[in-house]
Amino acid sequence: MSRKRSAALFLAIVLAALPVIAAGPEPPELILEGPPSMQPFAASLHALRRDRLEAAMRLVGLAEPGPPIHVLLAPEGSPMARSAPPWVSGYAFGDRGVIVLLPSREPSYPESSLGGLLDHEVTHVLIARAAAGRPVPRWFDEGLAMFAGGTWGLDDRGQLALSLLRTGRVPLAELDAGFAGGRGEVAAAYAVAGAFVRDLLERHGPGVAAGILAGVARGLPFAAAFERTAGTPLAAAQASFWSRETLWYRWVPLLTSSLTLWTGITLLALFAGRRRRVRTAALHRQWDEEERRRLSEAAAGDEPVN
């Protein structure tokens, strides 16, 4: 066989294999269940994008999807709805592969749509599978689910700023308790967890989460798996994260204080007064000029009387 034909054959083999190489991990099967009143919601959720599930599997390091995930669509007033606070629109039992969605409720932060909420809850199940059912901190679980659910935006930054205003720097060890609090505490806990996990992924690469979960699956304590994968102790990573949030921590309270508010009002009033004085002076100059012109024209029009 000639060199040219050999090269052509090799190229054909590579091109034929590309779809297989490029294909991501097979996502888990989602089985949606619910009463007839929930069928319109089930139909809309069937359009959930496959690539989002594949990305979540890569994020947590799962090569195999595992058994089907059961998604229960529960109407308001059902036992599953009554067992959750009124602002909660979905939750997951990660170790059992079961998700409960409450479509009649408006999704609350950190998700803004039913599809995004399903992405979030499916990620919880995938995290549990990647960790072989062993426990991981709630803040890590929620932060990863937020990352898988979408991008970091102004809403998240605003929630983080509110958290800093209310409680200051909350240690990660104490953050999990916030997820069991009231609506404001839960939102603040989500914001901090999402910010820390995003910072972790940006600084250590997208494979860091999968490495940590693999370490936990092998039986390592979470802190040990974190340090072995990230190359730094969890406490040091936390201190570094908060040091980079110093700008917000110091300036947001100042910018929102009553002193700053009244200083801003005073400066605006002074600026408005100066503009008014400038306009008034210009108007007076215009009047003076018109008066001089009138007197000049009147003087030129006076003739001597003989």
Pairing of strands 69-73, 90-93: unpaired
Q: Exposed, middle or buried, 18 (CB in 10 Å: 0-12/13-18/19+)?
A: exposed
Residue 61 pLDDT: 94
Residue 15 pLDDT: 36
Task: Give CA–CA dist 92/110, Å, rounded.
Answer: 15
Q: What is the pLDDT of residues 150-181, one digit of tens each?
A: 756 666 667 676 666 666 677 888 888 888 88
CATH architecture of 24-130: 2-Layer Sandwich (3.30)
Is the distance from CB of 179 to CB of 163 less than 8 angstroms?
no
Between the alpha carbon of residue 302 and those of residues 292, 293, 296, 297, 306, the distances in Å are 16, 15, 10, 9, 13
Is the distance from CB of 137 to CB of 222 less than 8 angstroms?
yes
Q: Exposed, middle or buried, 38 (CB in 10 Å: 0-12/13-18/19+)?
A: buried
Q: What is the pLDDT of residues 250-286, one digit of tens each?
A: 455 445 444 445 555 556 655 655 665 566 566 657 6
pLDDT digit string (tens) for the chain, length 306 residues: 554 444 444 334 433 443 433 456 778 889 999 999 998 888 888 766 677 888 899 999 999 889 999 999 999 999 999 999 998 999 999 999 999 999 999 888 888 888 889 999 999 999 999 999 999 999 999 999 998 877 566 666 676 766 666 666 778 888 888 888 888 888 888 888 998 999 999 999 989 999 999 999 999 999 999 999 999 999 999 999 888 775 544 455 445 444 445 555 556 655 655 665 566 566 657 666 766 776 676 666 554 433
List of residues 6+ apart from 272 with CB closer than 8 A: none
Model pTM above 0.75: no
Instruction: Please report, for the chain, the start and end positions of each structural domain, with discontinuous segments joined by +.
Output: 24-130, 152-273
